[in-house]
Structure 1
Amino acid sequence: MKSHTLWTIVGTATAGAAGILVRQTMKQTFRYGVFEPPVNPDRDDIDWRQAILWGAASGMAVGAARIVGWKIASAGMRRTRRSRRGQRLLARIED
């Protein structure tokens, strides 16, 4: 496996996991603090304000979490490439 492919897998998995974690945390926080997050903003009983607030807040938080996930994965890959043990592991994977 090429190192680029490995980085893509690791980076995407980390970013995705961070996004899912933040979204679930936001759902719980909104339920206890502000309002029940809208499952379907198209329903008639959902206010425009609630739909827009939830969309903006969740979009910004998940986007930021994905960036943090990519940065963490990048730092981990850099640290792995610098250590001897990591180099041996990557050499084994790349073959």
Structure 2
Amino acid sequence: MAGKGAALAWRVVGLGSAIAAGVAARKVAVTGWKLATGSQPPVNPEAPDVSVGEAVGWAVASGAIVGVARLLATRKVADYWQRSTGALPPGMEKVTP
């Protein structure tokens, strides 16, 4: 794949994998929160009636889980792309130590 077609294909594949990972990770975060606290996570952590501790806890836990899941999904898809096409996805640079 080359040029604009490859760039568009990567955007679609990369975005799709990140969205799917985010949705799955959110479900994991909600389940983990329920197991850890015995209650549902706050629906709106910004609301004044939610304690600061609960709001910050939910933001940190869910953000970390979703962020890591999206990172891992994008890396996996980029690896598949590279093995399939012989090149890194458009816009992704090779990191050299």
TM-score range, shorter chain: 0.7 to 0.9
Partner of 1:27: 30
TM-score w.r.t. length of structure 1: 0.77
Partner of 2:54: 50
Quick one: which amino acid aligns to residue 71 of structure 2? Answer: I
Please list every run of 5 or more consecutive structure 1 residues that lacks an aligned counterpart in the other structure.
83-95
Aligned identity (percent) is: 30
Partner of 1:39: 43
Which of the pair is proportionally richer in helix?
Answer: 1
* Distance in structure 1 (CA, Å) of the matches to 2:33 and 2:64: 15
Higher deviation after alignment, 28-37 or 57-66:
28-37
Q: CA deviation at 1:33?
A: 2.0
Structure with bigger gyration radius: 1
Partner of 1:90: none
CA RMSD in angstroms, aligned pairs only:
1.5
Q: Among residues 64, 71, 88, which one is paired with 1:60 in the alignment?
A: 64
Larger RCO, structure (CA 8 Å, separation 6 or more): 1
Quick one: which amino acid aligns to residue 33 of structure 1? Answer: A
Size of the aligned set, in residue pairs, is 81
